[in-house]
Amino acid sequence: MRNPLITKYNVPGPRYTSYPTVPYWDNENFSLKDWKETFKKSFSASNKKEGISLYIHLPFCESMCTFCGCTKRITKNHSLETPYIKAVLKELTLYRDLVGERPVIQQIHLGGGTPTFFSEANLATLMTGIFKVADKAAACEMSFEGHPNNTTLEHLETLESFGFTRVCYGVQDYNETVQKAINRIQPFAHVQRATDQARQAGYTSVGHDIIYGLPFQTLDCVKNTIEKTIQLFPDRIAFYSYAHVPWIKGNGQRGYDAANLPTAEEKREQYETGKQLLLEAGYVEIGMDHFALPTDDLYHAQQEERIHRNFMGYNASKTQVMLGLGVSAISDSWYSFAQNVKGLSEYYHLLENNILPVFRGHILTDEDLKIRQHILNLMCHFKTSWNEPALYFEELPEVLIKLKELEADGLLVFETKALRVTEKGKPFVRNICLPFDLRLQRNKPETKLFSMTV
């Protein structure tokens, strides 16, 4: 039976890892000079108070996973590792020189690509280089993304020796037909080995990423994947909706037809079934598409309402500054965003000439900052309020009128100068954010920019 709410609200919409979203950045009024000024302003306050977060993009992969939307370079040439690490460390040094003091690192995440494409020796070189120019906060949270097929005990032990305590493995689905379609072949035994070795090496939080809505994926596929995942009992689980955007991601997502994908109703059933199995196993739903055991820091962050969401996803801690290093990496100074160039040659060339490799960005207006906070409140806590003058903006009355229809459908309830997302409304939280997104509302795209919301 078709669910009328899914039919009604399954529209293209952002995942809101930022506001404004990247397609609506005001690149024309952005400059490297502006970025440097806002970065220095935020860094000074953040570094003294809480430190900064560091995201390092390691883009190399040995094979193409066709579901992936990340910036990556497919290669088996491991001689690329050393010059890339040298460039990343040069970029960090340029930022250290810009601010004139040693950054205090509160959070580090190695993403990709495939971070474990790099040898343990080269990852050690990277970490040693970072702490030559930066200091590690006492409670620094350090994590990386691991591929179950190539993450070794040596990788885990090397990074653990620098303070890494969390690893996240990309699992996606255990069904062979689905794995072949997305070109991600990894038996359960590989994931089990990688998970066991992480715990053996002393990691206190092991995460698994699972995707629903993949090509040829059925409800039984999802059930089987969740049941196998529960056997390994990871501390965190990201249960993501597959974003089918071949018009953006190029040939990678054109290896199968949209007809091979589950329908919107089938996709929602996959999520609700998987969610129920996870809840029965003792996991707690965190924000959108995430689950954690009550022993995990992400759960405690949710309970204490200090959970944060940015380009790295949901985090148990927040810093005002998130510095992104490497090709395509995005930085966030809270008052501005900046993205690095995506090509390796250009990245290397700019750094060789002592130029920060930024190619676009956005300086947030006062209105942007207010709306950003509302969207963060909704995505992290499923509620927001405009009781304080700092969160009121001129078009808020029009936004609230647009939300009346979602209220009538039981997706949210209004309270005194506040709103709260209902349990029924949580799957539609992206839709609830849409009326707040004034940049999108004022400039409705003529072509599709985003994946479907449900």
Domain boundaries, the chain: 11-161+320-364, 165-293, 365-442+450-454
Give pLDDT, residue 450: 78
pLDDT of residue 117: 96
100 marked among binding-site residues? no
Taking a C-beta distance cutoff of 8 angstroms, is the pair 96, 103 a contact? yes
User: Do 165-293 and 365-442+450-454 agree at the fold level?
Assistant: no
Q: Is 243 annotated as a binding residue?
A: yes
Yes or no: say if 162 and 126 are a contact pair by the CB < 8 Å rule: no
Q: Which pLDDT tens digit goes with each residue over 316-327?
A: 888 999 999 999
Whole-number pLDDT of residue 264: 87
CB 384 within 8 A of CB 374: yes
Q: Which residues contact 413 (CB under 8 A, 6 or more apart)?
A: 407, 419, 420, 422
- Would the annotation count 113 as a binding residue? yes
Mean pLDDT of 268-286: 96
Q: For a pLDDT cut of 90, what percent of the chain falls above it? A: 82
More confident position, 453 or 357: 357
The answer to whether 390 is a known ligand-binding residue is no
102 is in an annotated binding site: no
Query: What's the half-sphere exposure (Cβ side, CA atoms, 13 Å) at 402?
Result: 14
Percent share of the chain, pLDDT over 70: 96
CA angle, residues 411, 414, 415, in degrees to nearest 5 = 140
- Euclidean distance between CA atoms 186 and 202, whole angstroms: 24
State yes or no: pLDDT of 74 exceeds 50. Answer: yes
Q: How far apart are CA 194 and CA 409, in angstroms?
A: 44
Task: Give the whole-angstrom CA distance, residue 362 versus residue 373.
Answer: 16
Q: Is the peptide bond before 20 cis (omega within 30 degrees of 0)?
A: yes
As a 3-state breakdown, the chain gives helix, strand, coil percent values, each rounded to 5, of 45, 20, 35
| Per-residue pLDDT at 1 exceeds 50 | no
Is 65 one of the annotated binding-site residues? yes
What is the distance between the alpha carbons of residues 420 and 400, in angstroms, rounded to a whole number? 13
Whole-number Cα distances in Å, 441 to 295, 359, 452: 40, 26, 17
Q: Is 68 known to sit in a ligand binding site?
A: yes
Nearest to 407 by CA among 399, 223, 348: 399
Local confidence band at 67 (pLDDT 50, 70, 90 cut-offs): confident
pLDDT of residue 424: 94
**DSSP conformation letters of 14-82:** ---SSSS-GGG--GGG--HHHHHHHHHHHHHHHHHHT-EEEEEEE-EESS--TT--S--EE---GGGHH
Neighbouring residues of 205: CB distance < 8 A, sequence distance ≥ 6? 143, 165, 166, 167, 235, 236, 296, 297
Band of residue 259 on the pLDDT scale cut at 50, 70, 90: confident
Alpha carbon distance 43, 51 (integer Å): 8
Tokens found for residue 147: 């591929």
pTM of the model: 0.93
Cis, bond preceding 410 (omega within 30 deg of 0)? no
What fold, for 365-442+450-454?
Answer: Arc Repressor Mutant, subunit A (1.10.10)
Distance (Å) of CA 330 to CA 18, 291, 337, 421: 10, 25, 7, 29
67 is in an annotated binding site: yes
The CATH code belonging to domain 165-293 is 3.30.750.200
Query: By the 8 A CB rule, do 394 and 403 touch?
Result: no
Q: Are 154 and 191 in contact (CB under 8 A)?
A: no
Segment of 86-100, 245-259, 311-325 carrying the highest mean pLDDT: 86-100
Q: What is the spatial distance between Cα 55 and Cα 142, in angstroms, rounded to a whole number?
A: 10
pLDDT digits (tens, 9 = 90+) for 421-431: 999 999 999 99
Q: State which H helix or E strand residue 362 sits in.
A: strand 358-363
| Residue 69 annotated as part of some ligand binding site | yes
pLDDT in tens, 190-217: 999 999 999 999 999 999 999 999 999 9
Query: What local confidence, expressed as pLDDT, does residue 127 receive?
Result: 98
Dihedral sign for Cα 326, 330, 333, 338, please.
positive
- Residue 70 annotated as binding? no
